[in-house]
Chain A
Amino acid sequence: MAPELLLDSNIRLWVVLPIVFITFLVGVIRHYVSILLQSDKKLTLEQVSDSQVLIRSRILRENGKYIPKQSFLMRKFYFNNQEDGFLKNTKRKVVPPSPMTDPSMLTDMMKGNVTNVLPMILIGGWINWTFSGFVTTKVPFPLTLRFKPMLQQGIELLSLDASWVSSASWYFLNVFGLRSMYSLILGQDNGADQSRIMQEQMSGAAMAMPADTNKAFKAEWEALELTDHQWALEGVEEELMSRELDLDGMFSKELPTGIF
């Protein structure tokens, strides 16, 4: 086991804790800035309408058992009919929102970059410059020597265990680690959540709203084809009459709503 280093407790007081605070405050500020810079997403009438149609089809699949069989079949026919079923035959224009054609996407991307990536780089650099030249903390798991140049920027010691890291690495650890704190304090959908934003950026290129509609229609069509009608009211009288009605409290004055 390599000999343990004893760090000056001042480091804890003046480096570790300030970096935590700085990261946290920057995150909170980023959240509020992103709210201010948020552009309104205007949905078209067609999008609203289509999303409601999809919901209706889903409800038909899930709760169709509560309506009579004829009614269910009539609606299923309306959606899935070979000739003019809505889900089968409605095609929406597909316009992939690439940054070139859709100017609002471009500004959104820029805003995203400015609020997230830029501060991270700036503050990371500043912390690296301010708190340089000493070891800040030790990560609790062993690391290979390959990590040394990355995590020990500014410390030119060849024999130092790679687990000892500099302030910059502590900063980046904080950026990702404080995510749950942000959820706690700012609520779920907060603008300070870096890793979520990065994930979105990676998958955002593949995701396109309009194409989704056509695919969504097809998926609903398939799901509805498979759905059969199992009437929930088949034995309702027997179920109801298996016991006396519970008329408890029906005529007490406290009953607020009418029973009719």
Chain B
Amino acid sequence: SASLSERSEQMRDKLRKWREDNHRNSEQIVDVGEELINEHASKLGDDIWIIYEQVMIAALDCSRDDLAWTCLQELKRQFPGSQRVKRLAGMRLEALEKYEDASKQYDSILQDDPTNTAARKRKISILKAQGKSAEAIRELNEYLEQFVGDQEAWHELSELYINEHDYGKAAFCLEELMMTNPHNHLYCEQYAEVKYTQGGLENLELSRKYFAQALKLNNRNMRALFGLYMSASHIAASPKVNATVKKANVKYATWATNQINRAYQLAGRGTKENKCSVKAVEEMLESITMS
């Protein structure tokens, strides 16, 4: 009937949008995808294969091995000997925690095609899942030596370094990302946070600058706004700075507090919870002007 095919069109479009935006909303994908596959398979045409892939990965996220297995079988039947399908089989083994078997699967892909980046990255994910951070970091470094342009890998490495508290190296990775994505406010913010954590006057200055840059790129980044306030007020409170620097940083911190104030006013307009938050922010402002 007309409404049934409309519904399947809608579901198909939703899946496509999630695919294009790289959303990881696995539960939703499983819901929509399972219905689409079971009831409207005939209307999908050649789209069905990429939908099988998308649904399979989402099913693995939701521990739905039954659904994942079904999708995998269909894909294996249609594309025998495909490396892309082999990788999916490996991911399923990973989800079942059969890491040895998964690793063998990826090794066989790499034998056929040493340039296959997906298989190499999956092997590194296995190390991470097993908690072998040092090895994962080492392998990822080797990988990046050959594929310097892989941004996903740089980001993963920065996360691994942050977990190991190696902030200097994490900053290096984030610098790569800032250069390849100069308009991404999140990378600037993360870099600023790493610099702030490293501490020390020079790093605090850098962190303040990059929080400001993140805000410049996205006026609504509240985290960067708070970061700006914190870094500026820390510099102002430090005994090592001269009067000019102190004055400038007080100015920055005050400006930040005013903006935070404005944001909270916009948010609450009278609700009880927000009244408390607004009060806290006002106290913050007072403490800054007093010092």
A interface residues (Cβ-Cβ under 8 A, vs B): 43-45, 48-49, 52-53, 55-56, 59-60, 63-64, 66-68, 71, 233, 236-237, 239-241, 244-247, 250-251, 259-260
Tell me the minimal C-beta distance from A63 to chain B in angstroms. Answer: 4
Neighbouring B residues of A45 by C-beta, 8 Å: 114-115, 146
Q: Are A71 and B175 in contact (CB under 8 A)?
A: yes
Does B182 contact A247, Cβ atoms closer than 8 Å? no
Do the beta carbons of B172 and A71 come within 8 Å of each other? Answer: yes
Q: Are A52 and B147 in contact (CB under 8 A)?
A: yes
Residues of A within 8 A of B225 (CB): 245
Nearest Cβ in chain B — how far from A252, in angstroms?
A: 10
Chain B residues with CB under 8 Å of A44's CB are: 115
Query: Which of the residues B149, B172, B178, B209 comes within 8 Å of A237, measured between beta carbons?
Result: B209
Closest partner residue, chain B, to A234 (CB atom): B209
Contact A260–B221 (Cβ < 8 Å)? yes
**In the complex, A55 Cα to B148 Cα: how many Å?**
9
Beta-carbon contact of B179 and A67 below 8 Å: yes
- A233 to B114, Cβ gap below 8 A? no
Query: Does B267 lie at the interface of the complex (its beta carbon under 8 Å from any beta carbon of A)?
Result: yes
Distance between Cα atoms of A43 and B146 in the complex (Å): 14
CA distance A236 to B255 in the complex (A): 14
| Distance, CA A237 to CA B255, complexed state (A) | 10
In the A-B complex, the 6 residue pairs with the closest CB atoms: A52-B149, A63-B179, A246-B219, A245-B219, A67-B175, A259-B220
Q: Does B216 contact A (CB under 8 A)?
A: yes
Q: Taking CB as reference atom, which chain A residue is nearest B255?
A: A241
The residue that B263 contacts in the complex, of A71, A240, A250, with Cβ under 8 A, is A250
Contact B215 A260 (CB under 8 A): no
Does B210 sit at the interface, judged by CB under 8 A?
yes
Given contacts A63-B179, A245-B259, contact A233 B213 (CB under 8 A): yes
Residues of A within 8 A of B210 (CB): 233
A88 to chain B, nearest CB (A): 17
Q: Which residue of A lies closest to B268 (CB)?
A: A251
Enumerate chain B residues within 8 angstroms of A236, measured Cβ to Cβ: 209, 212-213, 216
Q: Which residues from B are CB-within-8-Å of A64?
A: 179
Bitwise, B181-221 to A at CB < 8 A (1) or not (0) is: 01000000000000000000000001011101101101111
B122-161 CB contact bits vs A (8 Å, 1 = yes)? 0000000000000000000000001111100000000000
A29 to B263, CA, bound (A): 63
Can you give 25 A-B contacts (C-beta < 8 A)? A48-B146, A49-B147, A52-B149, A53-B148, A56-B148, A59-B180, A63-B178, A64-B179, A67-B175, A67-B179, A68-B206, A71-B172, A236-B213, A236-B216, A240-B212, A240-B215, A244-B262, A245-B225, A246-B220, A250-B220, A250-B263, A251-B266, A251-B267, A259-B218, A260-B221
Q: In the docked arrangement, what's the CA distance between A55 and B149, Å? A: 7
Residues of B within 8 A of A233 (CB): 209-210, 212-213
A260 to B221, CA, bound (A): 6
State the CA gap A251–B171 with chains docked (Å): 32
Q: Which of B248-265 contact A (CB under 8 A)?
A: 252, 255, 259, 262-263
Determine the distance from Cα of A64 to Cα of B115 in the docked complex, in whole angstroms.
Answer: 29
Alpha-carbon separation in the docked complex, A234 to B9 (Å): 51
Among the listed B114, B221, B259, which residue makes an inter-chain contact with A244, where contact means beta carbons less than 8 Å apart? B259
Residues of B within 8 A of A251 (CB): 266-267
> Which residue on A lies nearest to B176, using beta carbons?
A56
Please measure, in the bound complex, the distance between the C-alpha atom of A45 and the C-alpha atom of B113, giving whole angstroms. 9
- Residues 25-84 of B at the A interface (beta carbon under 8 Å): none
What B residues does A63 contact at CB under 8 A? 178-180, 182
Expressed in whole angstroms, the Cα–Cα distance for A251 and B265 within the complex equals 11
Contacts of B215 in A (CB 8 A): 240, 245
Q: Is the CB of A247 within 8 A of B220?
A: yes
Asked if B14 is at the interface of the complex by the 8 Å CB criterion, the answer is: no
Q: Which of B115, B220, B263, B267 has the most CB of A within 10 A?
A: B220
Q: Which residues of A contact B148 (CB under 8 A)?
A: 49, 52-53, 55-56
Question: Nearest chain-B residue to A57 (Cβ)?
Answer: B148
- A71 to B191 alpha-carbon distance, docked (Å): 13
Closest Cβ neighbor of A241 among chain B residues: B255
Q: Enumerate chain B residues within 8 angstroms of A43, measured Cβ to Cβ.
A: 115
Chain A hits for B221, CB < 8 A: 259-260
Q: A52-B147, A237-B209 are in contact. Are A259 and B180 (CB under 8 A)?
A: no
A49 engages B146 (CB within 8 Å): yes
Tell which of A60, A71, A247 touches B262, judged by Cβ atoms closer than 8 Å. Answer: A247
